[in-house]
Structure 1
């Protein structure tokens, strides 16, 4: 894939034409003294290229430049295509004048530009493109990092473009992820309230399970013997009423029996006084009364006798009446007692439906607790077995990786020597290289991967490292058909004049041999001193002839969009 032209549906836009092969330079000129080179649109070109090549929605574009449509002409396998995308409808694009969804565009590019194996996570067209088209300041810090979210992603993407076996990388990540998943599953079980109590108490799962099963067995027997009385509470209410009535009857009978006993005692104690005793008591008194005012003593005695006989008759009658009532009450009491006994017998043999429901619920709760313990035991055993199996897999993968590194040593050295040769153009006496070492740690990294240039922290050495690494990925052409590199001007900020001159000399030679493109945005002061590093013909051929666009800050028309607009468009 090579870039041909970037343009827009606005006449003010300064179209960018990319040279077919070789260098393409875009200069951001400064005319206002004291101002910087920022704001003319050099870095915006990178963002617009990503925009046309399927990046996520850019809200700044939608807000600040609505209804702008940007188009990119490009070539794949010698055939020219065009892709267009509007800032106000970013979810759809036009590929070769046919409307498709953004996801379809990315699938289209992925199938044509990268030979991505199936079932390898982290490898997509959009994640690999920044290796050739870095965007934002953060992607100019480490040659290995182009917005990767994890060490695995960084490793697998670089390894893929360096021709390293990504199956080994993916396998360790998958196995370690599965081990982590099993640990999390086990931890989730431990967080259960029942199991948390089990762990905190240091209890044995087998003992706990046996205890629960014993409780369940006992309650199941109780449930099987359970007789449900639908009118249980009516029976209970009637029994309570009978018990109260019986108690009242017993109290009444007791009172009646006491009355009978009192009557019997009264009938036995007869107050009989003899005539002689009467004379002794009343004789002296009779002498003091006249005879016509007093009755004769025998008449008084006779009267007293008749009164006693009447009292005995009355008490006897009352006693007989009470005895009869007691007899009737005892008959009724025995009947009530029998009814109460029957009711209590029924109640003792049956219970209420809601009590049965409570019993069933209790059994269910205990069974759930027991099942949790069984599940934990099963998970624990499963985890133990799988962990042992996975540990074995990891051990085998370590061996496979060691064998792979040994078997591919010459292949890697041959490929990575490209990077060394590029670095030697800048630092002939500095060791440099790309390294892959087997990582046997408990992590998802299959390799310890590094891109090194050993030097005494010279200015610009990190930028040289990035440049040489990116150029290596382009030159190796492993698993991709991208035939360009685009570097933003920030790459050259810390380089000295000699390093910059060497960048363009080396880039011109490499992409010339490859039939590829090296595209860069520059500030004028980045190239002003390079004329002393070239002959006049070299400077003309490399710099002047390859400058396709010069952006200026003297007026809005001199900027990329041709208008004055303030946007914060770079991805963070």
Structure 2
């Protein structure tokens, strides 16, 4: 139970809460105009402060942080059978100071500051204590998606417009798994089943992603991967064998340059011999064609024609013939000498070519059996890269094979889990039937016909792949007002169940709960909330604008003003909750 709420700054309007019904009212002064507003008086801020004292994160959107940066808020509350005072400051929200007569009897013992002489909890430990004390959440269990105190308390202190749109969630876009787990927990059902279903969904999602990638061509098919595997294995076999016989010569590059030089020399000598042989052929042809003039002299020709030369002229002609013969002889001797020289040059070149060819053969033998270090490194890197590629290919093949097996496993697990959910649902029947009856009773107290809390399981209805599906139905539920009363009936049922079992024993609604609700149903809700709270020993705290309280529809023996624990008004700024007025751009979720 919450006994009181106050602050270190005296401007704050302290409030004392009692068992049963507690109403916080925002009055409107008589001379307020139509454009005046009671927003900023502090009704919603009061709920946000309670949330803050109960471990919510500090958000500027929910409190005027800049204006109250040096404030500390205090809450008097029963936890673990002990009444304690918890103080949390705006300036240091990570520490919650606690005071009480039996602090060491709490389920989670606070730490002690010897220098300053006070007991305190760190923020995380404070939330753990609240979870243990109010909802019996095991602090030693840590499971992904498991219910947390901050999630569960938000069903008992709803803040923000979105919190009043459906009974099963408290903020817009709340995840399906959080809704499933939280409501299963609150209704006394096995809350582990929604988590198990969620894990199956996540497995299915990963499989669908792989399937989608293969179908879209973004990822190779199993057949393509198998072909790639065969190619890589074959190439690796060849290259690894080459690597195992690879010999590195320390002077490989020097030897290779020598071999290149010898090869160049051989080519030059071969080219030179080609030119020399062509020259030799021409010289030999010239030697064959060189001969002395014909013995038939010019004089003989003239004599045959009947002409005679003088002896002196004949002598001159003879001398000329002899001169020509000498020229031919000398030319032949020159050509023969040149031919011999060319043959010698060709022979020398061939002999030299033979020698350097032999030397190059020896070098090429070394080059054919040895390699350069950088070539070895390149081959080694290529082998490594292909091994990595092969490993990735094998992994992708394995994933596809595993994916096929997982599909079968998931189908089998889902069938088994559905059966398990149904079995546990039947075993928990006494708990959830109590919730169903509680909701029905609450709705019948507001309307002529009872409403229904509907819970379906995989074998009991359509649940869209979830462990459970939740719904509520009240006749004429199409109207906004009846929709709000679904939430009222659901929340009142929850606090009734938990308060009887020794858990949380307070329920707090903002005035948003009653927006658009018929005044008669508001009256019924106030009276039923009061009697139910008194009967089961819990608190029902709600905020109202004064003109929303349906005095004329209340029973004669029910005096709403007797339950007003705090009045705020817009007559003066100091009459608001903080002692000054402010505006907030948005409201938080209360998580």
The alignment's TM-score, normalised by the length of structure 2, stands at 0.85
1:67 partner SS: coil
Match of 2:584 in 1: 567
Match of 2:28 in 1: 30
- Where do 5+ consecutive residues of structure 2 fail to align? 100-117
How far 1:476 moved relative to its partner? 0.9
Could you list the per-position Cα deviations for residues 99-124 of structure 1 after superposition, in whole angstroms to 9, with x for gaps in the alignment?
Answer: 44322221221222222253553311
Match of 1:63 in 2: 66
Distance 1:488 1:317, change over 3 A: closer
Selected match of 2:524 from 486, 502, 515: 502
Alignment of 1:170-569 (within 5 A): 170-184=195-209, 186=210, 196=218, 198-199=220-221, 203-273=223-293, 276-280=296-300, 296-409=316-429, 411-428=431-448, 430-439=449-458, 445-455=466-476, 457=478, 460-477=481-498, 481-527=503-549, 529-531=550-552, 533-535=554-556, 537-539=557-559, 543-568=560-585
> Does 1:152 find its partner at 2:177?
yes
- Where do 5+ consecutive residues of structure 1 fail to align? none
Could you list the per-position Cα deviations for residues 323-371 of structure 1 after superposition, in whole angstroms to 9, with x for gaps in the alignment?
Answer: 3333322221221232333334443444433333333333333333322
**RCO greater where, 1 or 2, for CA within 8 Å and sep 6 or more?**
1
Mean Cα displacement is larger for which, 291-300 or 154-163?
291-300
Could you list the per-position Cα deviations for residues 274-332 of structure 1 after superposition, in whole angstroms to 9, with x for gaps in the alignment?
Answer: 66513146889xx9999889954444444444444444433333333333333322221
How far 1:136 moved relative to its partner? 0.9
Could you list the per-position Cα deviations for residues 25-76 of structure 1 after superposition, in whole angstroms to 9, with x for gaps in the alignment?
Answer: 1111001232233221111111111111111122253323321222112222
Distance 1:197 1:345, change over 3 A: farther
1: distance between equivalents of 2:433 and 2:287? Answer: 138
2: distance between equivalents of 1:356 and 1:75? Answer: 78
Distance 1:197 1:6, change over 3 A: closer
Distance 1:435 1:324, change over 3 A: same
Q: How many residues align?
A: 558
RMSD, aligned CA: 3.2
1: distance between equivalents of 2:81 and 2:60? Answer: 34
Contact 1:55–1:126 at 8 Å: present in 2 too? yes
Contact 1:64–1:565 at 8 Å: present in 2 too? no
Distance 1:349 1:81, change over 3 A: same
1:71 partner SS: strand
1: distance between equivalents of 2:505 and 2:428? Answer: 26
Match of 1:113 in 2: 134
How far 1:399 moved relative to its partner? 1.6
Mean Cα displacement is larger for which, 388-397 or 474-483?
474-483
Contact 1:47–1:569 at 8 Å: present in 2 too? no
Contact 1:173–1:444 at 8 Å: present in 2 too? no
Could you list the per-position Cα deviations for residues 138-184 of structure 1 after superposition, in whole angstroms to 9, with x for gaps in the alignment?
Answer: 11111111237212211221221221122333322233333434555
2: distance between equivalents of 1:363 and 1:143? Answer: 63
Distance 1:103 1:191, change over 3 A: farther
The alignment's TM-score, normalised by the length of structure 1, stands at 0.88
Match of 1:83 in 2: 86
Match of 1:161 in 2: 186
> Does 1:17 find its partner at 2:41?
no
Distance 1:567 1:67, change over 3 A: farther
1: distance between equivalents of 2:164 and 2:394? Answer: 55
Distance 1:153 1:291, change over 3 A: same
